[in-house]
Structure 1
Amino acid sequence: MRGRVVALAAALVLSGTAGVASAKQADREPVRFATFNASLNRAAEGELLADLSTPDDEQARAVAEVIQRSRPDVLLVNEFDYVAGGAAADAFRRNYLEVPQNGAKPIHYPYAYTAPVNTGVQTGHDLNRDGTVDGPDDAHGFGAFPGQYGMLVLSRHPIDTERVRTFRTFLWKDMPGALLPDDVDTPEAGDWYPPEVLETLRLSSKSHWDVPVRVGRRTVHVLAAHPTPPSFDGPEDRNGTRNHDEIRFWADYVTPGRGGYVYDDEGRRGGLAPRERFVIVGDYNADPLDGDSTAGAVNRLLDAPRVRDTRPASAGGAMAARVQGGANDGHRGSPWFDTADFGDEQPGNLRVDYVLPSRGMRVVRDGVFWPVPGTGLDRLNAASDHHLVWVDARP
């Protein structure tokens, strides 16, 4: 079982012309899709659930207030430790989202999806060549325990759990033309990992999820992921190349004719059907122009023929970069589009969080929740080093 949907509100059953009219109206109403790396990860297994089991965790309260003030209809939360059975998701909704935070209106998400991820799941191999085989760097995804830095989808609209596809076990070597890392001391390309490692090493550092959400008569595929940061490695660039290919996975998945090699955790093959609507969401740890990512990594996604990049912006991000200076002064990209605040040291503030609707959807507005310093809500900038990004689109 790959997660579950929890319905907290009774379904309203409509019939006849009233039901048809309601469905048509839902089709026309804009839906706010959002992503937020909320940094709700903890150092040890069970800590997040313990923190969320009471309403007193200050960081969780700040994260909840950001969500309440942004009011997404469909939200991906990155860095939310996975707990089997969805107990952490239940506690977060019950004790934080459904409780007013500093005067913000509570928000209710009747539907949620979460599932296991690769972080902390050991490979049995010495992936970073430090002489041990059981460190957090030796797992399929960096993590001190299974499920650390997990993902959570919250929705006001029904999630079609029977049609969810997950790609947690897809092997990196099975991507045609995979950008496998090189050992710079040997002449062979892609040889950092020996064959026995590549036979089991997965592509996703967390997972890739295709979560169908039903909006009126339409289905929108929420494509969620959180690729590894392209850093914390050496000249072999094992994390940078993996970040590149984790991003490329979705670009191939949504591009007709390129996703035939894809297989999901149930063995079903192929990418997304050409006429399906989708929104790609997540922290992709790659900026189009700045930072440490492999050249062109996120541009493969932004330039995919069916992907629309509306470039959500904020005045708060622009002001933060100017005040902090340092590495930000040398950036080529506009700070208006930054989504993560990494300060004045390298790599500086970057655009790494994305909400990318398919071209078949009409975008109404978009933005980044980054309050301008000196305003009443700027205290929420400390909730995470990332900021919530949102796009309003009609399905």
Structure 2
Amino acid sequence: MRPTFRSALLVLFVLVLAACRANAPVATPPGPVSLRIATFNTSLYTEEAGGLLARLQAGDADARKIAAVIQHKRPDVLLINEFDFDPDGAAAGVFMRDYLGVGQHGQDAIAYPYHYLAPVNTGEPSGLDLDRNGRVATRGRERGDDAWGYGLHAGQYGMLVLSRYPIDIDAARSFRLLRWAQMPGALAPKDPATGEAWYPEDIWRQLRLSSKSHWDLPIQTPLGKVHLLAAHPTPPVFDGPERRNVARNHDEIRLWAEYVAPGEKPWLCDDQQRCGGLPEGERFVIVGDYNADPADGSSLPGTIQQLLEHPRVLHYAAPRSEGAVHAAGNSAANDGHRASPAHDTANFGPRNGNFRVDYVLPSVGFEVRDSGVFWPLPGQPGSEWLDATDHRMVWLDLANPDAPTRRD
């Protein structure tokens, strides 16, 4: 059968259309961005109120190195531990403008449109004799021992969150005022000589659990809403045989384990008296310097495992660095450590050695695409910035499972 003129024309049209499509660029729908979340204890504190602001205004070499690390790794959401709090946020403003907003050590400037800071318990006078030395101190280091959290002035060792994405301030929760005694089964310190409670009952009932604060900050990200759970528990040292800081460190970490566990928790009330934990189905990332190593150091056995092994926390390979391995081999203090040195995040000097104490722990429902500890080997780019603080930035890249990933 001979083709008609109309059918021949139709065949020609189809051939031309196919040729055009073959030569056209293929459009690939973009995948969601990955979300880089980091924690960094920056040691940006001073012993006098207003001292950090003055230090930053004068131009500070260590702050420039800290800014260079942040600019180099460029996290989307960052918790900074040990950044002194001031009520008007002036120090944070100067740091973001004059340090992060200006390229440091060959890095590109970085801007964070959103940030969060709030009062902390460190240096806040309690009016009580918390160290049981027979007096309530109002100045000097004894003042720090009688503060709600150890500090030589109100706001020392504070916290600051920086974010590329909006923080829901109205929904934010702070647990700074939560009483330690409200936690069921709280590890109340005991006098080992007598077996009696170390704190008198009237003081124990007033003690605050958080040495700085515990924050739940909902952040609207390209991956959806993420609850940033930020804290900085007290070191489990600098106490006596009663080990009150060891007990407090354990229960400060336990607070987040309780917060993300299902069930009614009428005792778990925030500073605005909204009670209860994080609802099931909400996704979160726990961040901060928790002053607890999984296998070494002075914390109670199993302290950080309350988070690492929690059923709502994603199990993933611990962030690591080659620089930590090299540093561990240069100090005899690390010889008896049981944990892998590759996972260390802090260098506490030749007497104490190196430990893993800084964590970024996402909830189930995320996928970790990449992670690391910024601890370059000697001679590598950035190694000259490490002396600005005894901690290292820990970061990870999150994505929704099975989704293609790109970085903005």
TM above 0.5, yes or no, is yes
- The answer to whether 1:318 aligns with 2:325 is yes
| Partner of residue 170, structure 1 | 178
- The answer to whether 1:295 aligns with 2:291 is no
Which of 209, 232, 239 does residue 233 from structure 1 map onto?
A: 239
- For residues 390 and 126 of structure 2, the distance between their equivalents in structure 1, rounded to whole angstroms, comes to 30
1:255-292 deviations in whole A, cap 9, x for unaligned? 11274431000000100011001000000000000001
- For residues 111 and 302 of structure 1, the distance between their equivalents in structure 2, rounded to whole angstroms, comes to 29
| Partner of residue 341, structure 1 | 347
- The answer to whether 1:369 aligns with 2:374 is yes
Q: Secondary structure at the match of 2:220?
A: strand
Q: How does 1:177-196 map to 2 (within 5 A)?
A: 177-188=185-196, 191-196=197-202
- For residues 217 and 342 of structure 1, the distance between their equivalents in structure 2, rounded to whole angstroms, comes to 36
Which of 134, 144, 147 does residue 131 from structure 1 map onto?
A: 134
Q: 1:259 to 1:340 in 2, by over 3 A?
A: farther
- The answer to whether 1:97 aligns with 2:100 is yes
Shift in Å, 1:378: 1.1
| Partner of residue 68, structure 1 | 71
**1:259/1:272 contact within 8 Å kept:** no
**1:354/1:389 contact within 8 Å kept:** yes
User: Relative to structure 2, which stretch is displaced further, 201-210 or 78-87?
Assistant: 78-87
| Partner of residue 220, structure 2 | 214
**2:35/2:223 contact within 8 Å kept:** no
**2:65/2:105 contact within 8 Å kept:** no
1:322-341 deviations in whole A, cap 9, x for unaligned? 122x1201100000000001
1:172-218 deviations in whole A, cap 9, x for unaligned? 00000001110112233xx1111111221100000000011101371
User: Relative to structure 2, which stretch is displaced further, 371-380 or 231-240?
Assistant: 371-380
Letter in 2 for 1:105: D
Shift in Å, 1:52: 1.9
Shift in Å, 1:304: 0.8
1:216-250 deviations in whole A, cap 9, x for unaligned? 37110000000000000111000000000000000
Q: How does 1:121-160 map to 2 (within 5 A)?
A: 121-134=124-137, 135-160=143-168
Q: How does 1:322-333 map to 2 (within 5 A)?
A: 322-324=329-331, 326-333=332-339
- For residues 310 and 355 of structure 2, the distance between their equivalents in structure 1, rounded to whole angstroms, comes to 21
- The answer to whether 1:40 aligns with 2:44 is yes
- For residues 369 and 267 of structure 2, the distance between their equivalents in structure 1, rounded to whole angstroms, comes to 35
**2:122/2:155 contact within 8 Å kept:** yes
Q: Secondary structure at the match of 2:37?
A: strand
Unaligned runs of 5+ in 1: 1-23
Q: How does 1:372-383 map to 2 (within 5 A)?
A: 372-383=377-388
- For residues 363 and 397 of structure 2, the distance between their equivalents in structure 1, rounded to whole angstroms, comes to 12
1:27-64 deviations in whole A, cap 9, x for unaligned? x211000000000011100010112224x210110110
Question: Structure 2 length as normaliser, TM-score?
Answer: 0.87
Question: Structure 1 length as normaliser, TM-score?
Answer: 0.90
- The answer to whether 1:352 aligns with 2:357 is yes
Unaligned runs of 5+ in 2: 1-28, 138-142, 401-408
Letter in 2 for 1:384: T
- For residues 39 and 307 of structure 1, the distance between their equivalents in structure 2, rounded to whole angstroms, comes to 28
| Partner of residue 284, structure 1 | 290
- For residues 318 and 88 of structure 1, the distance between their equivalents in structure 2, rounded to whole angstroms, comes to 35
| Partner of residue 15, structure 2 | none
- For residues 117 and 57 of structure 2, the distance between their equivalents in structure 1, rounded to whole angstroms, comes to 18
Q: Secondary structure at the match of 1:84?
A: coil
Shift in Å, 1:343: 2.4
- For residues 377 and 144 of structure 1, the distance between their equivalents in structure 2, rounded to whole angstroms, comes to 32
1:286-312 deviations in whole A, cap 9, x for unaligned? 000000111211111111111124311
Q: Secondary structure at the match of 2:68?
A: helix
Letter in 2 for 1:350: F
Question: What CA RMSD, in Å, does the superposition of the two structures yield over aligned residues?
Answer: 1.4
Q: 1:379 to 1:259 in 2, by over 3 A?
A: farther
| Partner of residue 305, structure 1 | 311
Q: How does 1:194-209 map to 2 (within 5 A)?
A: 194-209=200-215
- For residues 99 and 254 of structure 1, the distance between their equivalents in structure 2, rounded to whole angstroms, comes to 38
Q: Percent identity?
A: 55
- For residues 70 and 334 of structure 2, the distance between their equivalents in structure 1, rounded to whole angstroms, comes to 27
**1:25/1:216 contact within 8 Å kept:** no
Which of 51, 57, 66 does residue 53 from structure 1 map onto?
A: 57
- For residues 74 and 187 of structure 1, the distance between their equivalents in structure 2, rounded to whole angstroms, comes to 45
| Partner of residue 117, structure 1 | 120
- For residues 163 and 135 of structure 2, the distance between their equivalents in structure 1, rounded to whole angstroms, comes to 41
Q: Secondary structure at the match of 2:354?
A: coil
Q: Secondary structure at the match of 2:257?
A: helix
Q: 1:132 to 1:25 in 2, by over 3 A?
A: farther
Q: Secondary structure at the match of 1:64?
A: helix
